[in-house]
Amino acid sequence: MPTTRVDLHVKVLDDEVVRRAKDAGVEVLVYAPHFTRLGEIRERAAEFSDDDLLVVPGREVFTGSYRDRKHVLAVGLEAGVPDFVTLDGALTELDRQGAAVLAPHPDFLTVSLTPTDVERLRDRVDAVETYNPKHLPHHNRRASSLASAHDVPEFGSSYAHRPETVGEVWTAFDAAIDSASDLVDALKDGVSRRVEHRNGARHRARCLAEQLHLAYENTWEKVDRLLLSGMEPTHPRHIAYDGKFDDVAVY
């Protein structure tokens, strides 16, 4: 039976990321940077894809407001979906497009689907993340319990905001995945898989570095975005969305 190693969520993409993925035997990366429209993500994914590594465009949609946002990760979008829309509004659009819907870092800080959300949305969520380097061990245990309790398939990712983290975590699918549509099908069909990761001191150090990056990301960078940067490219009222999401926008 073929097996494909997939890192289902990275925020960075460059030559070093590609090299590290290939060195770890990762064959598919899902590239889903923050606040970036789908067209730009697609272009960059295509630039770094080759015969040995498939880079699939993804969007981590920030639903809700900055104070109470719930992230959902979409794979297989045909058209852009903005941030800062209601959770149900985002899920309705993702379902309309036939995208795979993943719950990254569940029940983590104030940026995730809660256990109640996962229970309510069991039929609309295709997988729950049970391991990433920004989690502490108890976060991973809690996420695994959540996936098990609601019989939702699991996934793991490097959730890499730093190139050095790529190749630390992957999901091994028992299927050949040669295209973005293959990956969407594997996720939506619940293909058997295993969450795998490196161990040892170097892995723990890279996890710590990601956790420290999280502290930065949620302090000055957030202030910069909110107060200095103006309207995000993925704001629902941006001209790029032509008013399509005005009825579910929270800003």
- Tens digit of pLDDT at every position of the chain (251 positions): 899 999 999 999 999 999 999 999 999 999 999 999 999 999 999 999 999 999 999 999 999 998 888 999 999 999 999 999 999 999 999 999 999 999 999 998 778 999 999 999 999 999 999 999 999 999 999 999 999 999 999 999 999 999 999 999 999 999 999 999 999 999 999 999 999 999 999 999 999 999 998 766 665 455 455 544 567 899 999 999 999 999 999 98
Instruction: Look up the domain containing 134 and give its range.
Output: 4-248
DSSP state of 106: T
Q: What is the pLDDT of residue 227?
A: 44
**What is the DSSP secondary-structure string of 17-50?**
HHHHHHHTT--EEEE--TT--HHHHHHHHHHH--
Q: What is the pLDDT of residue 214?
A: 79
Q: Are strands 28-31 and 169-173 parallel, antiparallel or unpaired?
A: unpaired
Helix H, strand E, coil C: the string for 205-240 is HHHHHHHHHHHHHCCHHHHHHHHHCCCCCCCCCCHH
Tokens standing for residue 17:
């990321």
* pTM for the whole structure: 0.94
The number of domains in the chain is 1
Which CATH number does the domain housing residue 14 bear? 3.20.20.140
- Three-class SS state of 88: helix
Question: How many Å apart are CA 143 and CA 106, to the nearest integer?
Answer: 6
Q: Are strands 127-131 and 100-103 parallel, antiparallel or unpaired?
A: parallel
Q: Which residue has the tokens 């028992």?
A: 174
Q: What is the pLDDT of residue 228?
A: 47
